[in-house]
């Protein structure tokens, strides 16, 4: 990201909503240049604006960060979750970790299932892809043979956790099978050095796909 744009995001992050004039003073650049950067950041979904009366005269546009912009700053969610899981493992053992993953998957299943019921398997897959995209998994799917499909997850948002607790990957396979109402077998695995987790769907007895 351009250094000036990052400075704008940082200024708004640390000071709250700011106007074009206020950003101009903070950054030491013209209001014209600020407006250009603001328009670009808003087009990227990183900022939104609202009208607010600040002092005399006409209301000003005040720019604030969107939720997407918050993700531009360092996060420790994975490390925090991993610390919690390790504490649970030490206190309760591996069985409790598996139960925890299954309960989480069950809640996820309850959220997603109403959107997939009644459709054909290809349509369920197409709907599932949209949901997985929202989770940041970068999924794709294709029909490998009549009645047999491949689902690829090119990015794993839980990779740091899976590296310590591979049980979460087995629960993911169970989740997909329950949600799609079809046999699911994992054929490739990011944890094993593959470029994607690949699931074969619709024929649990077929030969492995490499």
* Average pLDDT of span 187-202: 92
Task: Determine, yes or no, domain membership for 113.
Answer: yes
The predicted-structure confidence for 154-187, as pLDDT tens digits, reads as follows 888 888 899 999 999 999 999 999 999 999 999 9
Whether residue 174 contacts residue 186, with contact meaning beta carbons closer than 8 Å, is answered with no
Task: Determine, yes or no, domain membership for 66.
Answer: yes
Between CA 180 and CA 138 the distance in angstroms is: 18
Rounded to the nearest 5°, which phi and psi values hold at 93?
A: 95, 175
Task: Determine, yes or no, domain membership for 208.
Answer: no
Q: Same domain for 138 and 174?
A: yes
Q: Same domain for 137 and 190?
A: yes
Q: Same domain for 120 and 181?
A: yes
| Residue range(s) defining the domain that contains residue 24 | 3-70
Between CA 107 and CA 114, with CA 110 as vertex, the angle to 5 degrees is 160
Task: Determine, yes or no, domain membership for 206.
Answer: no
- Whether 9 has a pLDDT exceeding 60, the answer reads yes
* Average pLDDT of span 50-56: 82
Q: Same domain for 114 and 183?
A: yes
Task: Determine, yes or no, domain membership for 196.
Answer: yes
Q: Same domain for 64 and 85?
A: no
CB atoms within 10 A of CB 39: 11
- Whether 206 has a pLDDT exceeding 50, the answer reads no
Q: How confident is the model at residue 210 (pLDDT cuts 50, 70, 90)?
A: very low
Q: How confident is the model at residue 69 (pLDDT cuts 50, 70, 90)?
A: confident
Counting residues of the chain whose pLDDT is more than 90, the rounded percentage is 66
Q: How confident is the model at residue 29 (pLDDT cuts 50, 70, 90)?
A: very high
Domain tally for the chain? 2
- Is residue 98 classed as helix, strand or coil in its secondary structure? helix
């Amino acid at each position: 990201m351009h250094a000036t744009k990052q400075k704008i995001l940082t200024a708004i992050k640390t000071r709250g909503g700011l106007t074009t004039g206020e950003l101009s003073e903070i950054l030491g650049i013209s209001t014209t240049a600020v407006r250009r950067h603001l328009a670009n950041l808003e087009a990227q979904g990183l900022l939104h604006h609202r009208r607010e009366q600040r002092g005399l005269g006409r209301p000003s546009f005040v720019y604030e960060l969107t939720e997407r912009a918050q993700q531009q700053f360092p996060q420790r969610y994975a490390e925090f979750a991993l610390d919690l899981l390790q504490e649970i493992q030490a206190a309760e053992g591996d069985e409790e970790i598996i139960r925890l993953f299954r309960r989480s998957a069950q809640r996820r299943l309850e959220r997603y299932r109403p959107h997939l019921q009644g459709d054909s398997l290809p349509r369920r897959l197409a709907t599932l892809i949209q949901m997985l995209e929202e989770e940041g998994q970068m999924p794709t799917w294709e029909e490998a043979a009549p009645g047999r499909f491949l689902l690829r997850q090119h990015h794993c948002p839980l990779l740091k956790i899976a590296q310590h607790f591979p049980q979460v990957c087995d629960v993911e396979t169970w989740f997909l099978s329950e949600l799609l109402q079809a046999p699911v077998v994992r054929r490739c695995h990011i944890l094993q050095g593959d470029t994607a987790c690949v699931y074969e769907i619709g024929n649990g007895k077929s030969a492995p796909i490499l």
